Structure 1
């Protein structure tokens, strides 16, 4: 639901009633992961997607029905020879989708509206919704904040409410979205209640070092992928807002000095495009010892060999150097800044999702992975 929060918040502000269909779990091959959402308002307007088109028609009808009934429902869409073309899920996957009405009268309406309001303000929080369990709990929601405080009900089940808040807070700290199984008394064991927890954290950072033409193209791609993008260069004549209007931040500072003082985390991506030893070596000496998601550096193979030698002289170990992706990018035959930016972005995505970078044609590798390792994303972690 949080992946379409801005549009849904606008609907809520306009006083519209709507129903939200949210992917709870997937099995096999499916184009969208947990947290992906589609919504339908009382006038029939549709936003979002839960399957890239496969089951949208059937989900639309379920949303319309939920608006009429005022009740949440969990529906499974699976592949078989008999129903594949009737529903449209021909890719061989299974989707569990929760449909929840959101209105002033709906049980979870107040909580979900508050979550949407927090999301558009970029406030970190998690929304936990009951997707399986006692009928009086299905669709109930809890909004959980980083400090552990929460908004919402779950009936008179105080123990369950406290456990749900703790589980949601733990997933929020990791920026994760997924399901959790609990017993009805709140203990951490399967069989009683299943929760869908959606986390909303600030977008991950991409820091681009080197204010060159390739950096301008990479800024645009980084913004498209949902990163908060910073450009850093020690040369004020190049690091200007006029040259990088789409960047969130443009910083004039020595790269290694800026990296030491700025905030990073396990989702941060560092792209070193300076290919100049006086910038690269001090910067990479710092970067390769930080717990960030990705460190890549531009340059020819000769430049890489010289850089590797200098970094070893600076005291970096084999294990630290193994984290460096250099020359940065996948082999796409790129020539232009835009093509090069695409190759760099492709490597970042592959690193985060566990991809190989090889063509899918004839490869036999899974098309959709869970992407649990590597570069974890921010909004709806989706």
Structure 2
């Protein structure tokens, strides 16, 4: 639902009832991930999408029906039909399950609070019951960035605490995913499946080295949704005018800046300096941190020499195995812009465990199904 958070916030503030259709399960090559939503208000206005166009008409009519009837949430499954290629379904060959529910903000005032946080760019999570007893289906619980939860919205305090714990874990990781709670005496007797929609701060891309490649990479990183920082110890090169697409330009020694700044498992560290006095202390530190990606630019000869220096500096082999160098995928890139595409393609593949191979050379579904994230509370 976060894809339409701004509109939903205004509808909640206006106390305007609406039907919310949420993708709760995906298999095969479905076009949009779980959590994507379409909403329809009482005037027939629609916002969002659940399939990129394949089944929007059918979902729209189902939303209108749920709004008119005022009944319980409804489920619908859409997939490709070999028997009837013209039936309403996904032309891509995948399958989605959609939950359609009526939302009245007077019954869920906490939802407007969470949506306001999200539209302001602040971290928040909305846990939505997508499988369980009929009287709980579609109910929500919200967790804000400071860890506070709007409790009492599910079936009891124990259920709320269990869901809030899972939602906080997913919010810390910046992930939207399914969690399972209940089915035992310690949490609640009812087994619940919840889709936790999370809005976390933008992941960070730290680019070290104020070179021409950094300009193109900062632009590509910004396009992909990263909060981009360019850092270099040389003030004549590290200027905002040279890197207008970066969120911030820092003049500092790279390893000193990295030691002082905040990183997490989604952070991408890109070392473009080509200078051992910068690279070695920086990479030694970066490879010891819980960041998502570390890449360093240079030829294969430079890479081999760099590895030797890192070993001399005491960097263990387990850390060296995390280094992506030479940085980027083999796309035949030559220009800074092409190189930026090569680097960001590798970052995307690394984040999603992609192969980096042409899709035409593969078999099976293009999109892997989203795994259940129930174990993230201790992640």
TM-score, normalised with respect to structure 2: 0.88
Q: Distance in 1 between matches of 2:34 and 2:329?
A: 28
Aligned match of 1:325: 324
What displacement does 1:59 show? Answer: 1.7
Q: Distance in 2 between matches of 1:84 and 1:198?
A: 33
Gaps of 5+ in 1: 374-382
How big is each residue's C-alpha offset from its partner over 1:217-267, in whole Å with a ceiling of 9 and x where there is no partner?
111211121111111111111111112222111111111110011111111
Q: Distance in 1 between matches of 2:155 and 2:289?
A: 46
Q: 1:310 to 1:237 in 2, by over 3 A?
A: same
What displacement does 1:345 show? Answer: 0.7
Aligned match of 1:193: 192
Aligned match of 2:280: 281
Q: Distance in 1 between matches of 2:102 and 2:320?
A: 51
How big is each residue's C-alpha offset from its partner over 1:310-335, in whole Å with a ceiling of 9 and x where there is no partner?
22222222221111111111111112
> Is this contact kept in 2: 1:19–1:63, CA < 8 A?
yes
Of 89-98 and 7-16, the range deviating more from structure 2 = 7-16
Aligned match of 2:375: none
SS at match of 1:309: helix
Q: 1:40 to 1:275 in 2, by over 3 A?
A: farther
Aligned match of 1:380: none
TM-score, normalised with respect to structure 1: 0.88
> Is this contact kept in 1: 2:124–2:198, CA < 8 A?
yes
> Is this contact kept in 2: 1:141–1:153, CA < 8 A?
no
Aligned match of 1:377: none
Q: Distance in 1 between matches of 2:146 and 2:242?
A: 40
Q: 1:335 to 1:289 in 2, by over 3 A?
A: same
Q: Distance in 1 between matches of 2:189 and 2:224?
A: 35
SS at match of 2:361: coil
What displacement does 1:149 show? Answer: 3.1
Q: Is 1:301 the counterpart of 2:314 in the alignment?
A: no
Q: Is 1:137 the counterpart of 2:174 in the alignment?
A: no
Q: 1:25 to 1:191 in 2, by over 3 A?
A: farther
What displacement does 1:370 show? Answer: 4.6
Aligned match of 2:40: 40
> Is this contact kept in 1: 2:16–2:105, CA < 8 A?
no
Q: Distance in 2 between matches of 1:6 and 1:342?
A: 31
> Is this contact kept in 1: 2:78–2:97, CA < 8 A?
yes
Q: How does 1:185-334 map to 2 (within 5 A)?
A: 192-334=191-333
Aligned match of 1:378: none
Gaps of 5+ in 2: 373-379
Of 125-134 and 350-359, the range deviating more from structure 2 = 125-134
Q: Is 1:95 the counterpart of 2:84 in the alignment?
A: no
What displacement does 1:289 show? Answer: 1.2
Q: Distance in 2 between matches of 1:186 and 1:2?
A: 33
Q: Distance in 2 between matches of 1:117 and 1:287?
A: 35
